[in-house]
Structures are given as structure tokens and as C-alpha cells.
Chain A
Amino acid sequence: MVPLSWYLIFAAGLFSLGLFGVLARRNAVAILLGVELMLNAVNINLAAFWRYGTITNMAGQVFAIIVFAVAAAEVAVGLALVISVYRRHNTVVADEIDMLKW
């Protein structure tokens, strides 16, 4: 069978790619795509630790489902904010959305 460490390294790679996307992309929608990759990496870890730990303890899968719900909420609010900012300021570039700056 697949060793646990393979899943953890795979999830670490997915997390790092998502981190790069969040930090380096200019488009706000692309930043949210990176956040999705990071949340998925965390979910893989939760499912892997559930499978390789005590399998009758469902905490890992339950926590993964809570992460699904939080991810759906985050995407809904985040994309609504991006669309609202685009409508008012005609830009989705994160560097140009600096209305809160002095």
C-alpha cells in the first residue's frame, strides 16, 4: 500500500503551489484559486490521517467536511467582493485595490 509519507509530501507540494499562487498572482480571482489549492492540500492530510490512524474515529472526515463548508463560504464571499470591486473601480488587480490605504 501507499505509505503515509507519500500523501503528506503530495499535500505539501500542493500547499506550496497554492501559496505561490496566492503570493504571486496579480488578479484577485487567481489569488482565490490559490486559496482553493491550499484548502485541498489540508483536506488530503485530514483524510490521510483518518485512514492511517484509528479508522473508527471519524474526526478527520468530519473536519474535512467542515473545511468543505468553509471553502464554499469563502469562495462565495470572496467572489462577491471581487465582482463588487470590479463594478465600482473597474479593476480586479489586487495591487490597484488600495482604497483602504492612506
Chain B
Amino acid sequence: MTIAQIIFLVVAGATLGSAFMVVTSRNLIHAALWLVATLFGVAVQYALLNAGFLAVVQVVVYIGAIAILFIFAVMLTRKEIRDQGPQLNSSWWLSATLSVVTFGGLVGMLWGWKDMAHTVPDIPPGFDSISALGDALVSPDAFVLPFEVASILLLAALVGAVYVAFNRK
């Protein structure tokens, strides 16, 4: 077992454990903080996959913006997190069965796949993934159109969010 495998297993275990706490913890502030831990674990996985830009964007956008937005939302709807009612609905066992079946189905599908133990290809010398990603995002024969559409989607969503949450009084 190599160092990379040990790091992967430790980080994956911690990430899955904090993801479990996200969906089960009673206090929503704690759930949001466990989400930060989960997102950080995923960022480490990106770094292990040599996707440095994704790791940085994960920390800046997900942890820095989205998780903080969640904490704001929990605080603005504070009354509900204090109530002592059940945090899971009455058919939670059905949901648990469905998620276990989904997980079993995905793993079972991977089991019959012949590229299961596919090993990682070497990075060609002189290949810089960040500059290749930047070229791909703005090059007209690659992904400039999806990139622009995503920026318009983000602008429309932010205008819509301000409109929906605006207090008219």
C-alpha cells in the first residue's frame, strides 16, 4: 500500500463520516459545519487527482461562499432549529433503504466493469493542467459557449435570488 492510497483512505473515511453527520445531526449549524469538513475532504481528493485548480475553487467557492451562505440561511430561519420535533420525516427508513439500494446498485455495476483496476496514466512532461484548462475555457473550438452560458445562468440566478428574497415592506 502506497502513501497515496493511505492518504486517500484516511481522507475518504473522514469525508464520508462528516457527510453522515451532515445528514443526521439535529442542530443545523452543526450540519453546516460538518458540510465544511466534507467539502474540505473533497478538495483534498481533487489535489490527489492533480486537479489543483478544482481544489482551490472548491475551497474558495464552496467553503468560502456556499457553506457561509448556508450558515446565514440557518441563522435567518433560526426558530426551527431550536424546536424539538424529529429532524427526519416519518418515512426515513424508506429513504435509507433507497440510498443503500442506490449505493449497492452503483457498486454492483462497477463490479462487472472490466476497467475496474484501471491505473493512473502518467502526466506527459511539460503538461500544465491549469493553462490547458484556461485555454479550453476561452478557446472558440472548445468550451467558450458553455462557459458564457454558465456566467449568464449565474447572473440570472443572482438577480432572481435578490428578487425572491427581497422584503417589500
User: Which residues of A are interface residues toward B (Cβ below 8 A)?
Assistant: 1-10, 12-21, 23-27, 29-30, 32-34, 36-37, 40, 43-44, 47-48, 50-52, 55-56, 58-59, 61-62, 64-66, 68-77, 79-84, 86-87, 90-95
- The distance in angstroms between the C-alpha atoms of A49 and B1, with both chains bound, is 22
In-complex Cβ contact of A14 among B15, B158, B160, B162 (8 A): B15
The chain B residue with its CB closest to the CB of A40 is: B42
Return the contact of A17 from the options B20, B51, B65 (Cβ within 8 A).
Answer: B20
Instruction: Scan residues 2-59 of chain B and give those whose CB is less than 8 A from a CB of chain A.
Output: 2, 4-5, 8, 12, 15-16, 19-20, 22-23, 28, 31-32, 35, 38-39, 42, 45-46, 48-51, 53-54, 57-58
- In the complex, are the beta carbons of B49 and A17 less than 8 A apart? no
Chain B residues near A19 (CB-CB < 8 A): 95, 98-99, 102
Q: Are A56 and B127 in contact (CB under 8 A)?
A: yes
A2-B48 contact given A52-B121, A55-B127, A82-B77, CB 8 Å threshold: yes
Interface on chain A toward B: helix, strand, loop, or mixed SS? helix
Closest Cβ of chain A to B59, distance in Å, is 12
Bound-state Cα–Cα, A34 to B142, Å? 32
Could you tell me the distance in whole angstroms from the C-beta of A31 to the nearest C-beta in chain B?
Answer: 10
B118 and A80 form a contact (CB under 8 A) = no
Q: Which residues of B contact A13 (CB under 8 A)?
A: 16, 19, 103
CB distance from B4 to the nearest CB of A (A): 6
Interface contact A75-B23, CB-CB below 8 Å: no
Among A36, A93, A95, the one with the most B-chain Cβ atoms within 10 Å of its Cβ is: A36
Whether B73 and A16, one on each chain, are in contact in the complex, defined by CB atoms closer than 8 angstroms, is no
The reply to whether B48 and A33 contact each other, CB–CB distance below 8 Å, is no
Other-chain contact of A80, B49, B92, B160 (Cβ < 8 Å): B160
Cβ-defined partner of B35 (8 Å) among A36, A72, A73, A77:
A36
Residue of B23, B62, B147, B154 most packed against chain A (CB within 10 A): B23
Chain B residues, Cβ within 8 Å of A34: 22-23
Contacts A61-B54, A70-B153, A80-B165; A21 near B23 (Cβ below 8 A): yes
